[in-house]
């Protein structure tokens, strides 16, 4: 998960790191960042990012995950 001012593309090379061998990886882009639209950019803050990520993880069926 990226921070403000970055996008999912900033982590494209992470799959080449030995620590991720044998692990699933998902490049999640927060709504309102990069190419991902958001209806109201004034709502994009840390609580919004957390809520969006938890919704996405739930929809993808993740039961456990780590954020780096």
Q: Where are the domains of the chain?
A: 8-60
Task: Return the pLDDT at 35.
Answer: 72
Q: How far apart are CA 18 and CA 14, in angstroms?
A: 9
Q: How does residue 2 score in pLDDT terms, banded at 50, 70 and 90? A: low
Q: 9-68: per-residue pLDDT in tens?
A: 667 777 778 887 887 777 777 777 777 777 887 887 888 888 888 898 899 888 887 765
Residue 8 banded pLDDT, cuts 50, 70, 90: low
pTM, 2 dp: 0.60
Residue 5 phi, psi dihedral angles, 5° rounding: 85, 0
């Amino acid at each position: 998960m990226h921070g403000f001012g970055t996008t999912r593309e900033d982590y494209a090379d992470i799959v080449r790191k030995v620590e991720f061998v044998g692990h699933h990886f998902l490049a999640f882009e927060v709504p309102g960042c990069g190419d991902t639209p958001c209806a109201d950019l004034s709502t994009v803050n840390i609580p919004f990012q957390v809520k969006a990520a938890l919704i996405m993880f739930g929809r993808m069926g993740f039961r456990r995950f780590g954020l780096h």
